[in-house]
Amino acid sequence: MSDQSRNRILERMREGLQATPHPGSDFSVLAEKQWPPEARVKMLRQRLESVNGQVHLCSREGWVAELQNLLSGKAVSNLLYAPGTEHGSELERSWPGDDAGLPSLLSTMEEDVDFRERVFDVDASLTGTIGGIAETGTLILWPTPREPRLMSLAPPVHVALLDAVNIHNTFWEAINQRQWADGMPTNALLISGPSKTADIEQHLSYGVHGPKELIVLIRE
């Protein structure tokens, strides 16, 4: 049935479209959006904060200490992370034992543990990002087998690491510079703040389905 439908639909369209010209597109309005690197960091931060994201600047080495600082005051008893990634290894190396009052680390790769069960159960997660977008205050994530898709969605607190050098001016620039069209991952994500809704009389509520808190550590 589907095959015949397909051919009939396509036939109708081809007949109806005979010799319709294809207009070209001028992307200069996007290409012109260029800011210096420091301005990009500032814009991204400002935009994310305006939608209730929490942004902290730190040094290339200092991010684990910053994270410990941030989490020690929170009711977060565990943190899901991806061992085997660069940031996962750095985290393991400098995370103190259980009696330090910090959340315990839970791995995404533990044998005999169903990831799906785990990710719906943890208090917080840490993921990397492949970059950011200044114009819109956005994180770009390409989830991997070690850092799966639900990690940035199911836990109530999501911590994301972003390297300042990877902040693009626009989404359009990121797609073109990094040649996304040559090979897309299973899932590519843009995240611009914690989950939210305004469906109840325009009142903004956070964490309706995804994280209530999005914490971004920008490594400069």
Partner 1 sequence: MTKADFRAGAARAVGDVQLRSNFRRAMDGLMEKRAAQFADGEELERLRTLGESIRSRSLARLPELLVQLENNCRENGIQVHWAETAEDGNRIVLDILKRRNAKTLVKGKSMVSEEMELNHFLEAQGIETLESDLGEYIIQLAQEMPSHIVMPVIHRNTAQIAELMERKIAGVSYTENPDELCRIARKVLREKFYKADAGISGVNFAVAETGTLCLVENEGNGRMSTTAPKTHIAVMGIEKVVEHLQDVPPLLSLLTRSATGQPITTYFNMISSPRRPGEQDGPQEVHLVLLDNGRSRILADPELRPTLRCIRCGACMNHCPVYTRVGGHAYQAVIPGPIGEILTPQLRGLDVRGDMPFGSTLCNACVEVCPVRIPIVDILLRLRAEANSPEQGGSVKGAGAKREGKEAMAWKGWQAMHASGAVYNGLSRLLAKTGNMMPGSVGPLKAWTATRTKPRFAARTLHQMTRKRGIPDE
Interface positions, 161-220, toward partner 1 (CB under 8 A) = 170-172, 175-176, 180-181, 184-203, 205, 207-211
Matching residue, tokens 């315990």: 104
Indicate the residue among 19 and 93 with the shorter CB distance to partner 1: 19
The residues in 65-84 that bind partner 1, with binding defined as CB under 8 A, are none
Indicate the residue among 55 and 64 with the shorter CB distance to partner 1: 55
Shortest Cβ 216–partner 1 spacing (Å): 13
Shortest Cβ 148–partner 1 spacing (Å): 4
Shortest Cβ 165–partner 1 spacing (Å): 21
Q: Are 195 and 209 in contact (CB under 8 A)?
A: yes
Matching residue, tokens 């040559």: 182
Question: How far is residue 104 CA from its own chain's centroid?
Answer: 23
The separation between the first and the last C-alpha atoms of the chain, rounded to the nearest angstrom, is 57
> Rounded to whole angstroms, what are the CA distances from 194 to 159, 160, 205?
11, 12, 10
Neighbouring CB atoms inside 10 A of 193's CB total 20
Indicate the residue among 99 and 112 with the shorter CB distance to partner 1: 112
Indicate the residue among 164 and 180 with the shorter CB distance to partner 1: 180
Q: Are 134 and 167 in contact (CB under 8 A)?
A: yes
Q: Are 69 and 158 in contact (CB under 8 A)?
A: no
The residues in 112-171 that bind partner 1, with binding defined as CB under 8 A, are 115-116, 119-120, 135-138, 145, 148-150, 153, 170-171
- Give the x/- contact pattern for partner 1 in 30-59, rule: CB under 8 A: x----------------x---x--------
**Residue 24 binds partner 1, judged by CB under 8 A:** yes
Shortest Cβ 188–partner 1 spacing (Å): 4
| Distance between CA atoms of residues 140 and 219, nearest Å | 15
Indicate the residue among 64 and 215 with the shorter CB distance to partner 1: 215
- Determine the residue type at 151: M
Q: Are 128 and 160 in contact (CB under 8 A)?
A: yes
Indicate the residue among 76 and 139 with the shorter CB distance to partner 1: 139
| Three-class DSSP category at 125 | strand
Choose the binding region for partner 1 from 10-18, 60-68, 73-81, 85-93 (rule: CB under 8 A).
10-18
The residues in 89-108 that bind partner 1, with binding defined as CB under 8 A, are 108
Shortest Cβ 44–partner 1 spacing (Å): 11
HSE-CB at 156 with a 13 A cutoff on CA atoms is: 8
